[in-house]
Structure 1
Amino acid sequence: MTSRAPAFPLISATGEAMRRLGRWCCVCAALLAAGCATYGPERPGEKIYRDVVFAAPGGHKLRMDIYVPRQSKPAPVVLWFFGGGWSFGSKGYHVNVRDLTTAGIAVASVQYRMSHTAVYPAQLEDCRAAAQWLRDNGARYGIDSTRMGASGESSGGQLAAMLAAAEGKSRIRAVCALYAPTDMVELAQLYSKPGRLSLVDKFLGGPADQKLDVAVNASPLNYISRALPPFLIIHGEFDGVVPLEQSERLFLALTDVGVETQFIVVPGKRHWFRLDNTQFAEVSRFFQVNLKR
């Protein structure tokens, strides 16, 4: 199934860009403040393995939380990457796809290095390390890692898309990207301000005009090919942080090369929202279809 989104105009990068930056900082601050306080107990029908160490680059231990449905057969798995401008956030906060366990799908919520610890491509390397760790060890946790998908919101959505680009559809079988940046060059320009590093600049390792090659390499739009798996793209109609046009361009590029793609524009929503029951049902169906045997 392929849904076509309406066209939306480009938004100028002046005062509006700074308002976007302020909104993004507020979102990131909320993520940081919430932190691990949002961890919830196991629910009926699931088992949680918390703080499983999967890598330690430079001695920096990285952990994941694994939510596994209690069932007799191994479950497919979706890697979840949180948002927060690559600067803030927690694997335990706002796991938007956790309820996939009710559909027989495991969820691995992954902590990756923040930009103040390491710059791109360290974050993608961490995501790939998490995927490989699950391939090597998932069976011990009741996971069939041959059926793996990826999902993330905002900056985590960018990482989910880049993971699929790096690994291909034989290893990452489906991607659900929620209000994700897809063109880092354009996003960096949107937030650019002389004498001040934006969250995008910090992710790239310096001012974007000096890190253009990194911005290009970090942009999912530059990796469009038939080697990509199916995508489900979700974005709020009035997103004031990551322009809706970024998801629209990804959708059009994927459909142009024949990648199965759905695009859902959520009316009235801005940046960073929880999926309602109807939206989550679509996400669940998408992964059930694409992660089946």
Structure 2
Amino acid sequence: MLTRAPDLLQVSAIGKTAAGIGWLCCLSAVLLLASCSTYRPTRPGEKVYRDVVFATPGGNKLRMDLYVPQTAKPAPVVLWMFGGCWRFGSKGYHVIMRDLTSAGIAVASIQYRMSNRAVYPAQLEDCRAATQWLRDNGARYGIDAKRMGASGESSGGQLAALLAATEGKSRIQGVCTLYPVTDLIELGSLYEKHSVGRSLIEKLLGGSIEKKIDLAADASPVYHISRALPPFLIIHGQRDRIIPVEHSEWFFRTLEETGVEAQLIVVPDKGHWFRLNNEQFAEVSRFFQVHLAKVDTGH
């Protein structure tokens, strides 16, 4: 594991070619994950609540899974957004933050509308609805939603960052993003000659990037950086050819220049879509334990 400041490198032509192949690998990986459940049994000292309905946009029920440690006091919570190119995936697969319960932190893994059902900002609206539902109802499940973090991978990392930008640091106290999408406009340029990747972005926007340029910017976390953001922990694989590591490096540098507390961990031997090893997960756990400490009830 390597933690370092960013080098502002341009994505090479070779990287662009590999990225097109990478998108296909991404889709294959997500579909493979969707073919088998990764639900794990409830552990001693823990409660799991599955398929809790938190919103019904357009009459469509959205659900979350709650993993709650049985602690003396209500537990802080991290909202988890899965990745899958905004088109694939489910709340029950690849829940990387699942083990935070061992550190006394609850995890809420949420479903949000896929791009075949609704265009952006519907996905962000669903994430915001989940945070509000937890604030209104979390106490019934042993959750203290005044202490809330956000996390997600890939497209879910984009949503976690946007959620923090729209909710503010008094409501989202920390964000951990894994190989996140940070700039849809630049990513669209990267996939200019690769119709699969570009079409997934345009499906999210409801039209071509050129015609939806303002919406693409609005859906890009890098355009929402301000001092109102909470601390960030960013983890990205050095060999990522789907979302190049430069995206996280640019994002990290801009956070630091704006005065937002941020840490970037670049993992040298990893590409896209990987699980954290024990050392990396311990860093994530420490991050949330520090930033989800008891906050002023007046916030």
TM-score interval, smaller chain: over 0.9
Instruction: Give, in angstroms, the shift of residue 72 of structure 1.
Output: 2.1
In 1, Cα distance between equivalents of 2:20 and 2:207 = 17
CA change 1:202–1:145 in 2 (3 A) is same
Q: Is the 8 A contact 1:45 1:69 kept in 2?
A: yes
Counterpart for residue 285 of structure 1: 286
The aligned amino acid for 2:149 is G
Which residue of structure 2 aligns with residue 260 of structure 1? 261
Structure 1 position 87, deviation (Å)? 0.6
Report what 2:297 is aligned to.
Answer: none
Counterpart contact for 2:86–2:200, Cα < 8 Å:
yes
Residue number in structure 2 paired with 1:216 = 217
**Contact residue 234 and residue 266 of structure 1 kept, 8 A:** yes
Please name the residue that 1:53 is paired with: 53
**1:127-167 alpha-carbon deviations (Å, 9 max, x no partner):** 00000000000001000000000000000000000000000
1:233 paired with 2:228, answer no
1:87-137 residue CA offsets vs partner (Å, 9 max, x unmatched) = 101111111111100000000001101111111100000000000000000
Q: Which residue of 2 aligns with 1:249?
A: 250
Q: Is the contact made by 2:77 and 2:143 (CA closer than 8 Å) also made in structure 1? A: yes
Quote the residue 1:185 is aligned against: 185
One-letter amino acid of the structure 1 residue matched with residue 282 of structure 2: A
Give the CA deviation at 1:258: 1.1
Q: Does the C-alpha gap of structure 1 residues 117 and 292 become closer, same or farther in structure 2, counting only changes over 3 Å?
A: same
Distance in 1 of aligned mates of 2:206 and 2:101: 37
Q: Which residue of 2 aligns with 1:130?
A: 130
1:264 maps to a residue whose letter is I
Aligned residues: 290
| Contact 1:189–1:208 (CA under 8 A) maintained in structure 2 | no
Matching residue of 2:33? 34
Deviation at 1:46, TM superposition (A): 1.5
Checking the alignment, whether the CA contact within 8 Å between 1:67 and 1:107 is kept in structure 2 is: yes
- Secondary structure of the residue aligned to 2:215 is helix
Question: 5+ unaligned residues in a row in structure 1: which ranges?
Answer: none
| Residues 26-63 of structure 1 deviation map (CA, whole Å, 9 limit, x = unaligned) | 32333233336221211222111001010111111111
Normalising by the residue count of structure 1, what TM-score does the alignment of the two structures yield? 0.95
User: 3-state DSSP class of the match of 2:226?
Assistant: coil
Alpha-carbon deviation of 1:18?
A: 4.9
C-alpha displacement of 1:24? 2.3
